[in-house]
Amino acid sequence: MVRVAARSNSWNYEPVTDIPRAAGAACPLVDPGVADPLAGALEPGRTLFLRLRDRMRLYQTRSTDFPDQELQRIKEELGQVYADVSSKLAPDDFARDLEKLALSRECVRCGRRTECGGCWIRVPGDAFSKDEQRVRQLLRKLEGNVLDVGAGEGPYASELAESVRAGRATYLGLDPDRARVELLASRHPWARYRVGTLADLAGEDARFDHVLVLRSYNHLPHPEAALDIAVRLLSPGGTLLVVDNIAFGLVRSRKQARRAERGPGLFEHFRNDSSLEAAHLLEKYPLSLLEKQDVGPATSNQWLLCYQKTTETSA
């Protein structure tokens, strides 16, 4: 099996220069006259302007973790750009730590759109909680035997606790990190945890009514092999819930960017697949799609796929 390397799931935009623009004034880039701020062939996929009270601040990324085409698609088509408003090494509570940015309406039909990274504005409110709430709603309804693939830090454990304690469900959390498993077991005595991966269950007779792959799909080095096992372990009529995030851009100060780069964080993603890539892999299985939430400019960077198994699969 081909070995794959972990990769980044985000990149930084850092400030370059400010362009004065009074409140209510037209964009100075549309008809700049002699002093053209865009002169010098800016790379639209690697730059953006952030609209401030009396100026537009140009930001640029020098990331080599993503090809230009991917940067452009995530920023322009999917709208996954955020301002980091935290003082952390890395944001871990997206609803509080990140503010979503949106392309200004004036940019949509601008004649210079192909030359420019666009002017982006802050979007009021929280882009993440709505998408997270839907995941939690689905989890609270589960009954029967539940397998959680890649339990990680247990972000959704509380949603399953009541059903397990009431005897309506059993829960097995699977994770390859022994330290994480031991910590989760100490925090959630109602749950069962096991060190390992889906491959460790491949030869066993265990069956599950629900298989969860929650924000761990892009952590799987070989998702197709893992899905083969996950679907085989799933009882007919059972559900497979897959939730994960695509990559995103972070608008940061130079200080924030340097602090994050010096931090202890390690790459844990092997891909930044969207629901489209995941659904393509899942097409070959006897599964019926129950619910799908894609990523777009009006959403967070989190997607969701929920399937029901229709027939038995061969061992």
The pLDDT assigned to 217 comes to: 97
Q: What local confidence, expressed as pLDDT, does residue 221 receive?
A: 93
Considering only CA atoms, which of 285, 291, 290 is closest in space to residue 312?
A: 285
- List the chain domain ranges: 10-122, 129-246+269-309
At residue 1, the pLDDT reads 57
The CATH topology of domain 129-246+269-309 is: Rossmann fold (3.40.50)
- Position 238 scores a pLDDT of 97
- The torsion angles phi and psi of 201, rounded to 5 degrees, stand at -100, -5
In tens digits, the chain (315 residues) has pLDDT values of: 556 788 899 999 999 999 999 999 999 888 766 566 666 557 888 999 999 999 999 999 999 999 999 999 999 999 999 999 988 878 888 999 999 999 999 999 898 888 889 999 999 889 999 999 999 999 999 999 999 999 999 999 999 999 999 999 999 999 999 999 999 999 999 999 999 999 999 888 889 999 999 999 999 999 999 999 999 999 999 999 999 999 999 999 999 998 888 876 677 889 999 999 999 999 999 999 999 999 999 999 999 999 999 987 665
